[in-house]
């Protein structure tokens, strides 16, 4: 069942509007803006339409790699280039890292005027509104401080405190009321926060929401943020939606960009309905559909597309790639998690000039450097849980290939200049440094919005993908797990590896998992299977050792 098989409208008249714009500039300023051609450079017709349709509500619906984020960046530059003041633009992104990247890329297309736009997460926006309007000083409670506070109130274990914290967060994310069973602790928690003049993360949305509705501040902010742009709209929660809807008004200039197949945060209260209901919520909303994918090869797009078709709750849409068919998706069965790491190292080394990192450095010292068309930053290793990171990282340390494990690196660039408040808003995903010459290791959730030429998804096994280990089966959202895997698969541009181990040591248990049932949803025409045997393992280990 497809819940919302929405009709897609192609917006005509872009060319005519743009010509009018050029004429406008010609008569008013005597010149055609040279930047305009740069802003629209290389965009396809639908992307140009999305960039230049700037008044009224607009929904950009598109699959992975179709240039949604690129379109937003160009739209920001376009708005400024056509005379909109940077202060009148509000761009909301999912991570601080994505915000910084967006600002830098908009500046590169246009100029430093883009630095004056508010680009940030919902939490940063909330913090800005609070700072501008709350007379009293306040502190923001980090997750650990929040847990300690709840633990002290409950006089119970940290595990129970964590579950209560999740429930409190859900209530706040839904901007709802506490039900009876949690009401007492919720109220005690809120009054403890008040006593300490403290706010938790969720309050950064909830408090501004209350303030805007009550204090007549709305007009001020509506007047300031006349153009609103939101990336990853499929993942906003009801409280964030309410904040956005208030700021935009029902016919405001709001541009929401998203892909319902990439909604992966419902466990944190994100609500795909906001996405599916956009046209109902915003009067005279128009919709643009981007259908050309620039990132992934035909096989990667075909394999991931076949998988996601098994979900019912989605907007069905066609995507075709502008790229070649490419090599098949590789499905590799390995004996255990150690060989999983070593298999990845071997594949990376083959691509980095067919030689090891150490050999390359050695060759460089001798005046000869093996020519490599890949850099380490072109590779990513993605897994379902952080618990899998250790075994993979060990393999990288042994090989000498540099890697960055997202969430565990040195503070990201720019963190030093942040104020204590802002630094509290950093999330693990912000610790990705796209400039580092290193292979990126991260969870599927962290991978959202990123792209790499070669992607290895590890632990593609029953129990991990979909994640069912130690879970109550009723609580598992199979469609969300499929979307998460889809997000991982579609990070890949040239090559995708899906690796499953026949034995795995995880959470202190020896597991003998079957391959993920999701592998069975990918048609044979897109895949190539390889089995690494236990015997191979010893031989290959010896070969690895020989390299040093
Ligand atoms: P996701 O859904 O994963 O967030 P997305 O739709 O936001 O993906 P982008 O990250 O904006 O896609 O773009 C994917 C890649 O395609 C980027 O490398 C981008 O530079 C490239 N790209 C997008 N549009 C074009 C175009 N018109 N011409 C050439 N390359 C393009
Ligand atoms: Mg994107």
Digit-coded pLDDT (tens) for 152-168? 888 766 678 888 888 89
Domain 298-531 has CATH 3.40.250.10: no
Ligand 1 pocket residue status of 258, Cβ below 6 Å: no
Q: Does pTM top 0.85 for this prediction?
A: yes
CA 280 to chain centre: 26
| Ligand 1 centroid to residue 308 C-alpha, Å | 20
Task: Give the number of the atom of ligand 1 that is nearest the alpha carbon of residue 487.
Answer: 3
Residues 69/231, Cβ–Cβ less than 8 Å: yes
Residues 322/292, Cβ–Cβ less than 8 Å: yes
Identify the pLDDT of residue 422: 67
Ligand 1 pocket residue status of 374, Cβ below 6 Å: no
Identify the pLDDT of residue 544: 46
Tell me whether the CATH fold assigned to 33-131+207-293 matches the one assigned to 298-531: yes
Regions of the chain with pLDDT less than 50:
1-32, 34, 355-372, 542-548
Q: Which fold has domain 33-131+207-293?
A: Rossmann fold (3.40.50)
Which positions ≥6 away from 307 have C-beta within 8 Å?
A: 482, 485, 486, 489, 518, 521, 522
Phi and psi dihedrals of 500, rounded to 5? -130, 140
Task: Give the number of the atom of ligand 1 that is nearest the alpha carbon of residue 293.
Answer: 16
Ligand closest to CA 294: 1
Residue located via tokens 């890697």: 403
DSSP state for residue 54 in the 8-state scheme: -
Identify the pLDDT of residue 274: 79
| Ligand 1 centroid to residue 175 C-alpha, Å | 34
CA 43 to chain centre: 22
DSSP state for residue 12 in the 8-state scheme: P
Identify the pLDDT of residue 420: 64
Mutational test site, ligand 1, from 295, 297, 444, 447, max ligand atoms within 8 Å of CB? 295
Task: Give the number of the atom of ligand 1 that is nearest the alpha carbon of residue 449.
Answer: 4
Task: Kindly calculate the radius of gyration of the chain based on its CA atoms and give it in whole angstroms.
Answer: 25
The per-residue pLDDT for range 92-134, each reduced to its tens digit, is 998 888 898 898 888 888 888 888 899 999 999 999 999 999 8
Ligand closest to CA 451: 1
Identify the pLDDT of residue 535: 58
Give, using CA atoms, the residue closest to atom 13 of ligand 1. 67
Ligand 1 pocket residue status of 293, Cβ below 6 Å: no
Identify the pLDDT of residue 386: 92
Identify the pLDDT of residue 372: 46
| Ligand 1 centroid to residue 43 C-alpha, Å | 10
Mutational test site, ligand 1, from 41, 294, 487, max ligand atoms within 8 Å of CB? 294
| Ligand 1 centroid to residue 510 C-alpha, Å | 41
Which positions ≥6 away from 464 have C-beta within 8 Å?
A: 383, 384, 385, 388, 513, 516
Domain boundaries, the chain: 33-131+207-293, 142-200, 298-531
Ligand 1 pocket residue status of 408, Cβ below 6 Å: no
Q: Give the integer Cα–Cα distance in Å for 55 and 58.
A: 8
Ligand 1 pocket residue status of 65, Cβ below 6 Å: yes
Ligand closest to CA 70: 1
């Amino acid at each position: 069942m497809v819940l919302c098989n929405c009709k897609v409208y192609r917006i005509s008249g872009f060319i005519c509007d743009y010509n009018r714009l050029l004429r406008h500039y010609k008569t008013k300023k005597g010149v055609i803006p040279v930047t305009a051609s740069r802003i629209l450079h290389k965009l396809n017709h639908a992307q140009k339409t999305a960039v230049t349709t700037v008044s009224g509500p607009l929904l950009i619906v598109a699959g992975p790699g179709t240039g949604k984020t690129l379109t937003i960046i160009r739209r920001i530059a376009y708005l400024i280039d056509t005379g909109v003041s940077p202060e009148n633009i509000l761009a909301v992104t999912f991570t601080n890292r994505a915000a910084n990247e967006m600002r830098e890329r908009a500046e590169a297309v246009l100029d430093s005027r883009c630095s004056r736009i508010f680009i940030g997460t919902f939490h940063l926006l909330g913090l800005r509104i609070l700072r501008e309007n709350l007379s009293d000083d306040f502190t923001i409670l980090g997750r650990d401080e929040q847990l300690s506070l709840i633990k002290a109130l409950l006089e119970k274990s940290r595990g129970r405190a964590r579950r209560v914290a999740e429930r409190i967060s859900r209530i706040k994310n839904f901007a709802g009321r506490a039900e009876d069973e949690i009401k007492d602790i919720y109220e005690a928690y809120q009054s403890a926060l008040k006593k300490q003049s403290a706010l938790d993360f969720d309050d950064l949305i909830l408090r501004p929401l209350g303030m805007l509705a009550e204090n007549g501040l709305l007009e001020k902010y509506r007047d300031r943020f006349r153009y609103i742009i939101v990336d990853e709209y499929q993942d906003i929660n009801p409280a964030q939606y309410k904040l956005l809807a208030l700021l935009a008004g029902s016919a405001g200039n709001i541009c929401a960009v998203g892909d319902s197949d990439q909604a992966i945060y419902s466990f944190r209260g994100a609500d795909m309905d906001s996405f599916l209901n956009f046209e109902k919520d915003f009067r005279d909303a128009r919709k643009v559909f981007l259908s050309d994918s620039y990132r992934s090869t035909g096989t990667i797009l075909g394999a991931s597309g076949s998988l996601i078709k098994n979900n019912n709750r989605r907007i069905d849409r066609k995507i075709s790639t502008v790229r070649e068919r490419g090599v098949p998706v590789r499905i590799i069965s390995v004996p255990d998690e150690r060989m999983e790491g070593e298999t990845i190292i071997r594949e990376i080394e083959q691509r980095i000039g067919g030689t090891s990192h150490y050999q390359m450095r050695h060759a460089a010292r001798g005046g000869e450097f093996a020519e490599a068309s890949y850099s380490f930053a072109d590779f990513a290793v993605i897994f379902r849980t952080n618990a899998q990171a250790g075994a993979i990282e060990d393999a990288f340390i042994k090989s000498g290939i540099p890697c960055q494990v997202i969430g565990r690196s040195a503070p990201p660039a720019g963190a030093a200049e942040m104020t204590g408040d802002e630094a509290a808003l950093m999330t693990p995903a912000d610790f990705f440094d796209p400039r580092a010459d290193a292979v990126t290791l991260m969870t599927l959730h962290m991978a959202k919005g990123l792209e790499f030429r070669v992607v290895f998804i590890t632990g593609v096994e029953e129990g991990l993908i979909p994640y069912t280990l130690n879970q109550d089966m009723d609580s598992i959202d199979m469609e969300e797990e499929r979307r998460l895997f889809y997000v991982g698969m579609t990070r890949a541009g040239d090559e995708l590896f899906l690796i499953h181990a026949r034995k795995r040591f995880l959470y202190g248990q020896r597991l003998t998992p079957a391959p993920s049932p999701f592998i069975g949803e990918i048609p044979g025409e897109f895949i190539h299977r390889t089995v690494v045997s236990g015997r191979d393992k010893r031989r290959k280990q010896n070969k690895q050792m020989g390299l040093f």
